[in-house]
Every structure is written in structure tokens, then in C-alpha cells.
């Protein structure tokens, strides 16, 4: 428990320093240190978990490593946007596969219907601001993101008493929120203090997804 608390505190501190650097409150280049470091700490949180579900553990770790790659690409917001998008798309595919371990895909159609509506609303708000060359990748990404969140919600709806399923569902909601804020800031209207809202929800989402792996007592 002490190790878990220390790791959570270090992750929170690293995230705060990254956000402060992104906002220009401290030296901006420190984002190049603390952004990947924070995700590495989330990976460290996931690492000892999931011994009873090795396939799910492997897939979530793959998703986190792909997310780390996406974080690095997005340190260069323009040149790195497309490779970052692809990295996170692949991460979501890994998370979808992980959340299909306890439950077949789309076993709870209601969750998918709700997230389909949310995805359609997000795309409708962004569409006019998305460059033509990015529209296909953006659609693919939003579909993967919504599918991941819906499958996580379906797992929780099927097993509401399982804390791991609840963490997955919360992670899906937070990831949708984070990426919606990021996309709105990039393609629609500038969001005041965007690094605060985008990065805080992003790392909370990843921490929750990592927590969907059971920690052996």
C-alpha cells in the first residue's frame, strides 16, 4: 500500500510539473521530461497488476507503451500530430482487445449506442475545422476511442460489483473527455488553460485503465 501511495504521489507531481511547464509557469522545455515521465510512472503502476489475467495485462501494457510513443510524438504538435494520432489509435485497439478478455465485444448494445451518439456529436462539432487530409484518420480515431470507452462501459454494466470493471469504465469516460477537449482546442476554438484540462483528464484516464488490472493481495 505504501509503495502504491508513493507511486501515485510521484505520478501526480510529475503531471503537475508537466502541466505547469506547458502553461509556461516554469521552463517550457521541461514538458519534454515530465510528459513521458508521467506516462512511464503510469506504466509502473500497471506493471505489478494483472497476474491473474496475463493476456489482459499484456494488452494494457502494450496500450500504455503505444500511448507513451504518442505522448512523445505530440511534443511536436504539428509535425507529430498524425504519428501521435496513429499511436493512440493503436493504443485504443489494444485497450479494446484487453476489455474483450472478460466480455465479448458489444455484449451490451446500450453502451455502444450511447457512445455512438457521443462520437457523432464530437465529429459534428469538429468537422468544419478538420483539414481534408486529416478527416479519414480523425474519423478512424474517434470510432476506435468510442469503441474502447463503450467496451469498458459494457464490462462494468455486465459486472457492476467488480472494481476493475468500474476503473475501466471511468477511464473510458475520461479518455473521451480528454481527447474531445484536445480536438476542440485544435480544430474548433482555443480552450483557456487547455494543457490543464487535457493532460489532467488524460493521465487520470490512463491511471484508471491501468487500475483495471487487479493488484494481487
Mean pLDDT throughout 192-196? Answer: 96
User: 121 lies in a domain?
Assistant: yes
User: 168 lies in a domain?
Assistant: yes
Q: What percent of the chain has pLDDT over 90?
A: 94
Q: How many domains does the chain have?
A: 1
Secondary structure of 94-119 in the HEC alphabet? HHHHHHCCCCCCCCCHHHHHHHHHHH
User: 217 lies in a domain?
Assistant: no
User: 200 lies in a domain?
Assistant: yes
Task: Print the domain residue range for 175.
Answer: 2-211
* Confidence grade of residue 165 (pLDDT, cut at 50, 70, 90): very high
Distance CA 43, CA 206 (A): 9
217 pLDDT exceeds 70? no
Mean pLDDT throughout 123-140? Answer: 95
Distance CA 85, CA 91 (A): 10
User: 216 lies in a domain?
Assistant: no
The confidence score (pLDDT) of residue 216 equals: 81
* Confidence grade of residue 7 (pLDDT, cut at 50, 70, 90): very high
User: 48 lies in a domain?
Assistant: yes
The confidence score (pLDDT) of residue 4 equals: 75
Amino acid at each position: 500500500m505504501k509503495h502504491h501511495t508513493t507511486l501515485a504521489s510521484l505520478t501526480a507531481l510529475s503531471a503537475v510539473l508537466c502541466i505547469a511547464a506547458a502553461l509556461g509557469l516554469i521552463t517550457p522545455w521541461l514538458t519534454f521530461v515530465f510528459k513521458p515521465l508521467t506516462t512511464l510512472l503510469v506504466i509502473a503502476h500497471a506493471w505489478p497488476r494483472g497476474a491473474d489475467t496475463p493476456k489482459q495485462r499484456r494488452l494494457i501494457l502494450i496500450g500504455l507503451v503505444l500511448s507513451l510513443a504518442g505522448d512523445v510524438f505530440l511534443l511536436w504538435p504539428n509535425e507529430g500530430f498524425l504519428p501521435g494520432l496513429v499511436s493512440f489509435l493503436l493504443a485504443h485497439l489494444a485497450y479494446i482487445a484487453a476489455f474483450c478478455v472478460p466480455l465479448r465485444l458489444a455484449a451490451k448494445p446500450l453502451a455502444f449506442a450511447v457512445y455512438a451518439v457521443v462520437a457523432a456529436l464530437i465529429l459534428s462539432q469538429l468537422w468544419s475545422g478538420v483539414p481534408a487530409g486529416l478527416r479519414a484518420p480523425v474519423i478512424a480515431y474517434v470510432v476506435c476511442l468510442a469503441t474502447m470507452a463503450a467496451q469498458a462501459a459494457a464490462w462494468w454494466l455486465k459486472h457492476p460489483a467488480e472494481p476493475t470493471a468500474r476503473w475501466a469504465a471511468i477511464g473510458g469516460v475520461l479518455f473521451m473527455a480528454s481527447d474531445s477537449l484536445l480536438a476542440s482546442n485544435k480544430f474548433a476554438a482555443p480552450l483557456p488553460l487547455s494543457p490543464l484540462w487535457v493532460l489532467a483528464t488524460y493521465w487520470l484516464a490512463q491511471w484508471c485503465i491501468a487500475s483495471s488490472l487487479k493488484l494481487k493481495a
